[in-house]
A and B are shown apart, each in its own frame.
Chain A
Amino acid sequence: MLNTRTALTPSLIAIVGFLTVCPVVMLVFGSFSEGIGAFGTFTLEKYIQSYTDPEFANIIVNTVIFTIGSAFVATLLALFLAYLNTRTNIPFKFVFRIISIIPMMIPHILFSVSWVLLLNPSNGLINLFLRQIFSLENSPFNIYTLEGMILVEGLLDLPIAYLILAPAMAAFDVSLEESSKVSGASNLRTLTRVTLPVLRPAILASFILVIVRSLASFAVPSIIGMPGRIYVLATHIYRIIATGFAADFGMAAAVGMSALAASITLIYLYRYLTSESEKYVTISSRGYRPALVELKNAKYPLFGIVAILSLVLIVLPVLVLFYTSLVPYSMVPSAKAFSMMNWKHWLEVLKDPISLLSLKNSVFLGIVGASLGVILSIFVSYVIVKVRTPAAGVLESLSFLSFSFPGIVIGIGFMWFFVRTPLYATIWSLLIGYIATYLPYGIRPLTSAFVQIHSHLEESSRVCGGGTLYTLRRIIIPLLIPGVVSGWILMATMFVRELTLSVVLSRPGTEVLAVQILHFAEDGLWGKLSALGIMMIFISSTLVVIASLIGTKLTKMEEDS
């Protein structure tokens, strides 16, 4: 027993270390090499070439405006929602929970596409509608701008900002505010001098995390930015490897290095701030709830804003996609439009061999990838929570490292690696890349599950007469199942929709859903795209339902035995 335990940690460190460190090392070497075929011949040429490009300054400016702008949109909206939910008597609070979770389930690429379908200047539905009503000559809105990108990315990152800010606000000790008011300060003064400063670390943390996410974002820059010729780092890298005369993976690596460096720096800053905010936020152990602000007349108008926001975030994207998949070309919903609806796009997609292949590949990656990923996560979480040696600490840092890696950059790193192996251009290269990048999604729920299994629960079973296997079957596994199920669901849904890593690693024969959707978007085939997109949402949801059912069934079985 002791021997297997001591061997477990080093082998896990080797596996996870390979998954997270290998692409970075390959990226660094690649950036100093002459080309993907001439690995290891040292040269600075790629750096000189990419960083002296006159357009590069432009790309950096765009990236900075895009990321910071998105961070502003997401954080301000999240502050507004979190305040309303935790500190006021606004009605229908369950809506906030939905807003904070559902957008994560809608694939980013489809969310971006739905906004293009609504607001693009030539035939965006809202534009067409306004032009009809006010007989305008030109479309009033153009999504293909930096502002459009910021709006959509901000909405996409809203849930992350909310999940950081809402708990911080809920844990806020109201007596801090009360003592300010007792000291004679007005409400506004209390807000600006006490409430916001105390929440500052959480606000900054949310801000920085959104910057990191938007820096790594590929869906919005590719779907909305590229048609408007607005390039940020992620799309610049994509352009280097996917368009033009020859893919230059050396240059992509050299550019990727700066995105990686920026991302790692920001994550360190984020870590520092969250540890600060834990010091700051005073959690009352007496468990009393903060006094709620009476909204009075503003109650329903404010809820109206929230309702519109949830409509925009959840209902509209799915509705627009479904509508577009059924009408022959872009037109404002009308009697005529409804009469012309048919399943043509759906049938075309189902006859298109590449779409079918991508469906098959994505389902395979979702099921097999998530299962392998969860198995690895179980072992890693076990060591992190239960073994607690210095080596386990190393494993913990390693396994959360990939959080700070932008997907496309990691894809470039893996490309340098896979080209040298027989795995190149196989589905397994995607599978390995996915697990490496999304490992934290499996580890998070499983570490919480292991934390819940206090050693006393295990020991108590032993004392009650249950042997090791009996204890495993009746106590440990049933308690782990909820964690396994959520880890599997998170990984499977991420894998089915995966885009950023796939645009680099996917080759002919290994197309996946999101990449196929991107190609449809590039060709302007909105009808087919929408049909395939709805199928993708349907597959994710089915996997979620099946996994939950199996989970409940397994737990029940353990209880009955």
Chain B
Amino acid sequence: MEIRIKSVSKDFFSEGKKIKALSNVDLTIPANQIFTLLGPSGCGKTTLLRCIVGLETPDSGEIAIGEEIVWSKEKNIFVPPEKRGLSMVFQTYAIWPHMTVFDNVAYPLQTRKESKEEIRSKVEKTLRFVQLEGFENRPATKLSGGQQQRVALARALVPEPKVILFDEPLSNLDAKLREETRKELRSFLTELKITAVYVTHDRIEALSLSDAIAVMKDGRMVEIGTPKKIYFGSDHRFVADFIGQANLINGKVAAIEDSYTIVDSSIGTISCQKSPDTSVGNAVTLCIRPEFIKVMEGDTSEEINIFRGRVESLLFVGDAYEAEIIIKATRLIIRIEPTAIVEEGDEIALAFDPDHCFLLSK
């Protein structure tokens, strides 16, 4: 089911100060996609999620789930959370400590007064799906973090909702488990054909799980796009920087050629990906990610986008060196093959992949 959010705003008052949690958010979440709300803490992503599910009421605007308007200031509509037919996985999992695994998962069905046999068969099926067979009679609190997480997921899946909401569900797991669970979650959700709204501040999670990502900042939508669009060609400086390591270089458009836009910058003239809405003379910010800067050896006169710099520092991180390079007083971060023979203080030649030098419009 599609979720439509129209000019939703919400303010919080904390210690006498007004904080804009959401300001005029417009968003359409397409049906049967995994849609991620990404942003730093305090950007309003969780507030938006809680407004969708009905645990928070906005100050203005309208929210519709499918055909039904669940909240509207103007039309004076408020559908309480228990009537919205959504499911949610909480950051803390919100497993009820006084119940067994079975009762936790059966709860949504019990609220609808379904028959006992039906409940039993549905719960069993769902527990099998999340690989928790045989855990029915365990007290829910006696499970590990990862298992509790799956109980929470099972409870969200069991009523077969059209929309399921996730509020940072992996943030309480340790790094290794988080990676595994992320993969599992992705395969569960793809299999189910369900609309999933996923809130996180973790960029890897957002990139690997989502069909679409909406990046938020200070209660506003900054940019919406596919993971690849957001990573390789975001329009905003904030988004480019937030989604991954980025070298941001200021410059001015010098010429627009057939295949590349030429930018004059503090490190020299750089050929960049073409960008539709720039013209000669515009001040621009250019973004290139560390993995698209290569160390060159031998003759480099034939190539374009070659710059010479000095290695300022080298940090061995296992699969690569993370190096700081100074090119004409501009500091850049690059990744160098771990087997390369490079030392601090070396002068090296670097090639910037012109197809991955992109201009930020905002």
A residues bordering B, Cβ < 8 Å?
A: 452, 454, 456-457, 459-467, 470, 474-475, 478-479, 555, 558-559
Contacts of B85 in A (CB 8 A): 465
Q: How far is the CA of A474 from the CA of B99 in the complex (A)?
A: 10
Q: How far is the CA of A478 from the CA of B107 in the complex (A)?
A: 14
Contacts of B90 in A (CB 8 A): 456, 459-460
Are A465 and B55 CB-contacts (below 8 A) given A460-B94, A479-B98? no
Contacts of A456 in B (CB 8 A): 90-92, 94
- Give min CB distance, A274 to chain B, whole Å: 27
In the complex, B108 has a CB within 8 A of chain A: yes
Q: How far is the CA of A559 from the CA of B82 in the complex (A)?
A: 21
Q: In the complex, are the beta carbons of B96 and A465 less than 8 A apart? A: no
Contacts of B159 in A (CB 8 A): 464-465
- Give min CB distance, A217 to chain B, whole Å: 39
Greatest chain A CB density within 10 A among B83, B90, B112, B159 is at B90
Q: In the complex, are the beta carbons of A479 and B97 less than 8 A apart? A: yes
Contacts of A475 in B (CB 8 A): 96
Q: In the complex, are the beta carbons of B155 and A464 less than 8 A apart? A: yes
Contacts of A559 in B (CB 8 A): 98-99, 103
Contacts of A558 in B (CB 8 A): 98
* 27 A–B contacts, CB within 8 A, in A order: A454-B94, A456-B94, A457-B96, A459-B81, A460-B88, A460-B90, A460-B155, A461-B96, A463-B55, A463-B82, A463-B84, A463-B88, A464-B82, A464-B108, A464-B155, A464-B159, A465-B85, A465-B108, A465-B111, A466-B107, A466-B111, A467-B80, A467-B82, A470-B82, A470-B111, A479-B98, A555-B98
Q: How far is the CA of A464 from the CA of B88 in the complex (A)?
A: 8
- Give min CB distance, B153 to chain A, whole Å: 13
Q: Beyond A460-B88, A460-B90, A462-B55, list 17 extra A-B contacts (CB 8 Å).
A: A452-B97, A454-B92, A454-B94, A456-B94, A457-B94, A460-B94, A462-B80, A463-B84, A463-B87, A464-B111, A464-B155, A465-B83, A466-B111, A467-B80, A467-B82, A470-B111, A474-B107
Q: Nearest chain-A residue to B81 (Cβ)?
A: A462
Contacts of B88 in A (CB 8 A): 460, 463
Q: How far is the CA of A474 from the CA of B97 in the complex (A)?
A: 12
Q: How far is the CA of A456 from the CA of B49 in the complex (A)?
A: 14
- Give min CB distance, B159 to chain A, whole Å: 7
> 6 tightest CB-CB pairs across the interface, nearest first?
A460-B94, A465-B111, A456-B94, A464-B108, A462-B81, A456-B90
Q: In the complex, are the beta carbons of B94 and A459 less than 8 A apart? A: yes
Contacts of B97 in A (CB 8 A): 452, 479
Q: In the complex, are the beta carbons of B86 and A463 less than 8 A apart? A: yes
Q: In the complex, are the beta carbons of A463 and B96 less than 8 A apart? A: no
Q: How far is the CA of A457 from the CA of B99 in the complex (A)?
A: 12
Contacts of A466 in B (CB 8 A): 82, 107, 111
Are A478 and B82 CB-contacts (below 8 A) given A465-B112, A470-B111? no
Chain B 124-181 interface residues, beta-carbon cutoff 8 Å to A: 155, 159
Interface residues of chain B: helix, strand, loop or mixed (majority): loop
B residues bordering A, Cβ < 8 Å?
A: 53-55, 80-88, 90-92, 94, 96-99, 103, 107-108, 111-112, 155, 159
Q: How far is the CA of A461 from the CA of B108 in the complex (A)?
A: 8
Contacts of B92 in A (CB 8 A): 454, 456
Q: In the complex, are the beta carbons of B55 and A464 less than 8 A apart? A: no
Contacts of B111 in A (CB 8 A): 464-466, 470
- Give min CB distance, B206 to chain A, whole Å: 22
Q: Nearest chain-B residue to A558 (Cβ)?
A: B98
Q: Nearest chain-B residue to A456 (Cβ)?
A: B94
Q: Nearest chain-B residue to A462 (Cβ)?
A: B81
- Give min CB distance, B196 to chain A, whole Å: 15
Q: How far is the CA of A413 from the CA of B98 in the complex (A)?
A: 44
Contact of B107 among A454, A459, A461, A467 (CB under 8 A): A461
Q: How far is the CA of A470 from the CA of B107 in the complex (A)?
A: 11
Q: How far is the CA of A559 from the CA of B100 in the complex (A)?
A: 9
Q: How far is the CA of A340 from the CA of B107 in the complex (A)?
A: 65
- Give min CB distance, A445 to chain B, whole Å: 16
Contacts of B82 in A (CB 8 A): 462-467, 470
- Give min CB distance, A560 to chain B, whole Å: 10
- Give min CB distance, B69 to chain A, whole Å: 19
Contacts of A465 in B (CB 8 A): 82-83, 85, 108, 111-112, 159
- Give min CB distance, A242 to chain B, whole Å: 49
Greatest chain B CB density within 10 A among A452, A459, A463, A465 is at A463
Contacts of B80 in A (CB 8 A): 462, 467
Q: In the complex, are the beta carbons of A463 and B99 less than 8 A apart? A: no
Q: How far is the CA of A475 from the CA of B98 in the complex (A)?
A: 8
Contacts of A479 in B (CB 8 A): 96-98
Greatest chain A CB density within 10 A among B55, B83, B91, B98 is at B98
Contacts of B81 in A (CB 8 A): 459, 462-463
- Give min CB distance, A186 to chain B, whole Å: 41
- Give min CB distance, A464 to chain B, whole Å: 4
Q: How far is the CA of A463 from the CA of B112 in the complex (A)?
A: 12
- Give min CB distance, B360 to chain A, whole Å: 38
Q: Nearest chain-A residue to B50 (Cβ)?
A: A459
Q: How far is the CA of A454 from the CA of B159 in the complex (A)?
A: 23
Q: Nearest chain-A residue to B89 (Cβ)?
A: A460
- Give min CB distance, B94 to chain A, whole Å: 4
Contacts of B87 in A (CB 8 A): 463-464
Contacts of A470 in B (CB 8 A): 82, 111
Q: Nearest chain-B residue to A475 (Cβ)?
A: B96
- Give min CB distance, B320 to chain A, whole Å: 31
Q: In the complex, are the beta carbons of A463 and B53 less than 8 A apart? A: yes
- Give min CB distance, B174 to chain A, whole Å: 13
- Give min CB distance, B50 to chain A, whole Å: 8
Contacts of A461 in B (CB 8 A): 96, 107
Q: How far is the CA of A550 from the CA of B154 in the complex (A)?
A: 33
Q: How far is the CA of A462 from the CA of B107 in the complex (A)?
A: 11
Q: In the complex, are the beta carbons of A464 and B107 less than 8 A apart? A: yes
Q: How far is the CA of A465 from the CA of B55 in the complex (A)?
A: 12
Q: How far is the CA of A466 from the CA of B81 in the complex (A)?
A: 9
Q: How far is the CA of A558 from the CA of B55 in the complex (A)?
A: 25
Q: How far is the CA of A454 from the CA of B90 in the complex (A)?
A: 11
Q: How far is the CA of A470 from the CA of B54 in the complex (A)?
A: 17
Q: Nearest chain-B residue to A459 (Cβ)?
A: B55
- Give min CB distance, B83 to chain A, whole Å: 8
Q: How far is the CA of A478 from the CA of B100 in the complex (A)?
A: 13
Q: How far is the CA of A459 from the CA of B50 in the complex (A)?
A: 10
Contacts of B155 in A (CB 8 A): 460, 464
Contacts of A460 in B (CB 8 A): 88, 90, 94, 96, 155
Q: How far is the CA of A457 from the CA of B141 in the complex (A)?
A: 13
Q: How far is the CA of A465 from the CA of B99 in the complex (A)?
A: 17
Contacts of B98 in A (CB 8 A): 478-479, 555, 558-559
- Give min CB distance, B132 to chain A, whole Å: 18
- Give min CB distance, B285 to chain A, whole Å: 41
Q: How far is the CA of A460 from the CA of B111 in the complex (A)?
A: 12
- Give min CB distance, A499 to chain B, whole Å: 37
Contacts of A474 in B (CB 8 A): 107
Q: Nearest chain-A residue to B108 (Cβ)?
A: A464
Contacts of B108 in A (CB 8 A): 464-465
Q: How far is the CA of A449 from the CA of B159 in the complex (A)?
A: 30
- Give min CB distance, B48 to chain A, whole Å: 15
Greatest chain B CB density within 10 A among A457, A555, A559 is at A457
- Give min CB distance, A263 to chain B, whole Å: 35
Q: How far is the CA of A555 from the CA of B96 in the complex (A)?
A: 13
Contacts of B53 in A (CB 8 A): 463
- Give min CB distance, A19 to chain B, whole Å: 31
Q: Nearest chain-A residue to B158 (Cβ)?
A: A464
Contacts of B107 in A (CB 8 A): 461, 464, 466, 474
Q: How far is the CA of A242 from the CA of B200 in the complex (A)?
A: 70
Contacts of B54 in A (CB 8 A): 462-463
